[in-house]
Amino acid sequence: MTARPTLLTPPEYIHDASVEIACAQNRVVYLSMVAIDVEPASELFDAMIDVANRGVKVDFLADIFSYTEAAETSFPIQYFGSKTRRATSIRNRLVKSGVKFRWLGVGRSFLFSGRTHSKWCVVDDIVYSFGGVNLDNGITSRTDYMIKIKDKAIADALVSEHERITKSDEKNAAYRSHSLESNLGTILFDGGLFGSSIIYKRAVALATQANKITLVSQYCPSGKLSRTLHKKGKKVKLYFNHPKNATFLNGLLIQWNILTTGNKTLYKKRNYLHAKFMIFEMPDGSKTAITGSYNFSFSSVFFGTREVALETKDPTIIAELEEFLNNRVK
């Protein structure tokens, strides 16, 4: 049976997940694009280390892109310094306690291609996912969330995908995007193939049908999705970061997409917007949402990024997203 889903802000998520991990009996499975040994995440890391020391199976995957975030630069010549030791440090601490740890993407040829951008934490049959929280300093500064769900089938599905990512990464390979039905809707997985995204396809399909669309994302939407949003008769509200909110390279990407699409953002706050969801209202008044790690930018399709999202009509989740929009984004 599925318990009521709960949307948690980054600090709420870290504390709640840490409490659940401390009580874990069978498994803790964690995936984050970024994992750095920083104070905002220390409670969660300490909980993992404690349960691993008492024999609970803990499996942790993080993308090698963590070193870019740790160095606070996208230029590899600066990767090897005091700041980057924070990424190595957490790996060493976790492994020492018995955690099975793997850096993803070590063998890829280009920093921005084939990244694993998905995020989840599975504690026994509890899932935290379908949001964008990384384990870095952004926990205290970014506008973001994770959704807590208690559902064994969804937990098992994410663990299975976790294992698939591990095996794929061992071969430095990608796999086809795919979907899985659940009690809360359709779970969408992008497998990292260049030019392929089931999440982007579903966003375009739903945007084509909807007459009212709200988009919240780190980036300005682009590609076919953006063109669909501009079609006559659609009421569209877009919330994404202004270039001045972003780092140099992210700011350039946002500025380029603004110039090439003509999209304008309604987001006026100073906090960096890292949440990612779309709400589609159909002509009959029904609503569908897509929420997850995906930014709705065609660059994620082009570069072949691993992503996870939930397409749902669940009224509780949609109400939680709308409350988040009203209280933290507008």
Q: What is the pLDDT of residues 126-154, one digit of tens each?
A: 999 999 999 999 999 999 999 999 999 99
The rounded distance, in Å, linking the Cα atoms of 299 and 250 is 12
pLDDT score, position 217: 98
Q: What percentage of the chain exceeds 90 in pLDDT?
A: 85
Q: Judge whether residue 78 has pLDDT over 50.
A: no
Terminal Cα distance for the chain, rounded: 34
Q: Does residue 301 carry a pLDDT above 90?
A: no
Q: Is the pLDDT of residue 112 over 90?
A: no
Domain 185-329 has CATH 3.30.870.10: yes
Q: What is the domain partition of the chain in residue ranges? A: 6-173, 185-329
**Span of 45-59, 103-117, 140-154, 265-279 with lowest mean pLDDT:** 103-117
Per-residue confidence at 110, pLDDT binned at 50, 70, 90?
low
Q: What is the rounded CA–CA span in Å between residue 44 and residue 96?
A: 16
Calculate the average pLDDT of the chain: 93
Residue 263 structure tokens:
């999209």
Question: Do the first three CATH levels of 6-173 and 185-329 match, i.e. the same topology?
Answer: yes
pLDDT at 105 over 60: yes
Percent of the chain scored above 70 by pLDDT? 94
Beta strands in 158-297 (DSSP E): 178-182, 185-191, 212-216, 235-239, 272-273, 277-281, 287-292
Mean pLDDT of the region 220-238: 97
Residue 107 confidence (pLDDT): 78
Q: Three-state SS for 39?
A: helix
51-61 pLDDT per residue, tens: 999 999 999 99
According to CATH, what is the number of the domain 6-173? 3.30.870.10
Measured between alpha carbons, how far is 156 from 173 in angstroms, rounded to an integer?
Answer: 23
- Residue 79 reports pLDDT greater than 50: no
97 closest CA partner among 33, 45, 139, 149: 45
Average pLDDT over residues 4-28: 98
Q: Give, in order, the Cα–Cα distances in Å from 229 to each of 53, 57, 62, 188, 318.
A: 51, 45, 34, 21, 20
Asked whether residue 221 carries a pLDDT value surpassing 50, the answer given is: yes
